[in-house]
Amino acid sequence: MIRALFSDVDDDGTTGEAMDVDEEAPSFTRVHLLDRLHEQVVDYFVPCLFELARRLGAPEADGQASQHALRPTKDIGDCIAWLAEQGGPKRQGSPRLDSFLAKKGARTGARWGRDWARRDWEVALEDVLKIGQKWNDGAITEGLNSLAPHFEQTFLSKMRPL
């Protein structure tokens, strides 16, 4: 009976398409909404900040530089510090923008997106906005404008622990 439902079933009971028994079924990983949003924020804004630093004349890191030399186009902490030295917003407080703009495990203080309080998100994104506004950087300000509805929607979503 089942064979009648599949017109392309061969006499040996196969569909003509061989499948290795060793193939594993696709695995799905549950990802928290805030972790995914945070990853997208980091992936978008960190390159924007590096590019802004390059446009403003930040020194490029090379193999000859000492290990303590600033690398404003390679390290987000150095980039933010260098932008502050150039007249950008200077802020000491929580969260540190370099920690917020790093993926979990990438640097001290970095966390999963779900581990930052909503106020931490707001403060960090306000700091990014101040940098974008200081140098009239369209990629940063437009990125934040595009992010705003997703940010609100994500925080209004019902979230469950993983």
Burial code (b: 16+ CB inside 10 Å, e: under 16) for 29-68 equals eeebbbbebbeebbeebbebbbbbbeeeebeeeeeeeeee
For residue 95, the surrounding DSSP H or E stretch is: none
Given a cut of 90, whether residue 140 has pLDDT beyond it is yes
Q: Indicate the DSSP class of residue 114.
A: G
Question: What are the φ and ψ backbone dihedral angles of 54, each rounded to 5 degrees?
Answer: -60, -45
Model pTM? 0.75
Q: Which among 105, 85, 84 is positioned nearest to 97, based on CA atoms?
A: 84
Given a cut of 50, whether residue 11 has pLDDT beyond it is no
Task: Check if the beta carbon of residue 120 is closer than 8 Å to that of residue 38.
Answer: no
Q: pLDDT tens across 19-34, in order?
A: 555 567 666 666 789 9
Q: Which conformational region is residue 35 in: left (phi greater than 0), alpha (psi within -120 to 50 degrees), or beta?
A: alpha
Mean pLDDT over all residues of the chain? 81
Task: Name every residue whose Cβ is closer than 8 Å to that of residue 107 and which is 6 or more positions away in sequence.
Answer: 76, 77, 98, 99
Task: Output the pLDDT for position 94.
Answer: 85
Question: For the chain, what percent of residues have pLDDT higher than 90?
Answer: 56
Task: Determine the average pLDDT of the residues in 36-47.
Answer: 96
Given a cut of 50, whether residue 7 has pLDDT beyond it is no
Q: Where are the domains of the chain?
A: 36-61+68-156
**CA separation for the pair 76, 71 (Å, rounded):** 8
Tracing tokens 């506004």 back to the chain, one arrives at 133
Q: pLDDT tens across 69-112, in order?
A: 567 778 999 999 999 999 988 876 789 999 999 988 888 889 99
Task: Output the pLDDT for position 159.
Answer: 75
